[in-house]
């Protein structure tokens, strides 16, 4: 069928309008974010059984949507020295969530269930302790801390950070020599030589 120039132009305009309308509708679909997750009801909170013996472990806080999706925030907490070494948020299915917990247990040991206020207090106080000696939390903490929104901090809950009442830096497997030098410089600048301990690779 041969179309006139005017009819062809009209058809093109109609297609263009359809594409724009579809694009506009798509932009209205809001993807879940860390802020959205913070509005979901709390699900479970976990801390490592041997956290205070090893000095480091994952604190896990999860929230569950009405559809069954589970948002998980995981904080790698160094209670001996560095505070929040790493953290992230993931959206998982119930089966994915169970798989993640099993992986953490297999990698770092048993977890124990705790109240949300305990997990929140531990994370925030570990962060504050590390900042007092010059170590900021992981950059992603600005997002990950949203999962702790409206979870109270229990000021009566006392934690003894450090080892033998002193910061104790233990070099992690993923820390380079440059990382070690930076951390040691901070300790040397902030503290006297007998006010901290450390174990690093020679």
Write the pLDDT tens digit of every residue in 170-194.
Answer: 999 999 999 999 999 999 999 999 9
Position 166 in a domain: no
User: Which of the residues in the chain have pLDDT under 70?
Assistant: 1-12, 14-31
Position 60 in a domain: yes
Six token digits for residue 116: 């949300």
The residues with which 57 forms a beta bridge, in sequence order, are: 77
Q: Which helix (H) or strand (E) holds 64?
A: strand 56-64
Position 10 in a domain: no
Residue 29 is predicted with a pLDDT of 45
Position 1 in a domain: no
Residue 4 is predicted with a pLDDT of 62
The residues with which 46 forms a beta bridge, in sequence order, are: 60, 113
Residue 99 is predicted with a pLDDT of 97
Position 26 in a domain: no
Kindly give the pairing relationship between strand 42-48 and strand 56-64.
Answer: antiparallel
3-state secondary structure 18-48: HHHHHHHHHHCCCCCCHHHHCCCCEEEEEEE
Q: Kindly tell me the sign of the dihedral angle through the C-alpha atoms of 111, 113, 115, 116.
A: positive
Position 129 in a domain: yes
Domains in the chain, number: 1
Position 3 in a domain: no
* Range of the structural domain that residue 75 is part of: 34-160
How buried is 178 (Cβ within 10 angstroms: 0-12 exposed, 13-18 middle, 19+ buried)? exposed
Position 61 in a domain: yes
């Amino acid at each position: 069928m041969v179309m006139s120039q005017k009819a062809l132009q009209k058809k093109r305009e109609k297609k263009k309008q359809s594409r724009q309308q579809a694009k506009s509708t798509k932009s209205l679909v809001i993807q879940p974010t860390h802020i959205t997750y913070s509005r979901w009801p709390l699900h479970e909170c976990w801390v490592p059984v041997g956290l205070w013996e090893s000095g480091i472990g994952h604190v896990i806080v999860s929230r569950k949507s009405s559809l069954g999706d589970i948002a998980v925030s995981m904080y790698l907490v160094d209670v001996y020295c560095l505070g929040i070494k790493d953290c992230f948020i993931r959206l998982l299915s119930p089966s994915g969530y169970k798989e993640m917990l099993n992986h953490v247990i297999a990698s770092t040991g048993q977890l124990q269930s705790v109240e949300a206020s305990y997990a929140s207090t531990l994370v925030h106080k570990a962060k504050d302790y590390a900042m007092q000696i010059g170590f900021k939390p992981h950059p992603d903490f600005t997002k990950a801390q949203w999962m702790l929104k409206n979870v109270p901090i229990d000021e009566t809950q006392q934690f003894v950070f450090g080892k033998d009442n002193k910061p104790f830096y233990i070099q992690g497997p993923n820390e380079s020599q440059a990382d070690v030098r930076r951390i040691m410089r901070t300790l040397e600048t902030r503290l006297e030589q007998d006010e901290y301990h450390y174990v690093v690779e020679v």
